[in-house]
Amino acid sequence: MMILGGAGPPPEVLTGALGVVAKITPAHHAVLLLQGPWLGLGWDTQAMLVLLGFLAVSALLTVRFFRWD
């Protein structure tokens, strides 16, 4: 996920299906969220909302399926 998310090779060099998969990983949005302020581009609200969505879905799935055995 790190390689596809943009923390490895630049997303621009990924072609075809790899480019599509890279854009839906949480790591891609985390990289966008970190790069904006770092490069002076400002805060990426869309990336933050996508990450919050991943967090909410993950938390709901955890509450639903986690069991102490």
In this structure, which amino acid lies at residue 68?
Answer: W
Q: Can you give the residue ranges of every domain in the chain?
A: 2-65
- In angstroms, rounded to a whole number, what is the distance separating the alpha carbons of residues 55 and 60? 9
Which residues contact residue 55 at a Cβ distance below 8 angstroms, ignoring those fewer than 6 apart? none
pLDDT tens-place values along the chain, 69 residues long? 666 666 677 777 878 888 888 888 888 888 889 888 888 888 889 999 999 999 999 999 999 999 887
- In angstroms, rounded to a whole number, what is the distance separating the alpha carbons of residues 34 and 18? 22
Tokens of 57: 């879905």
- pTM of structure: 0.74
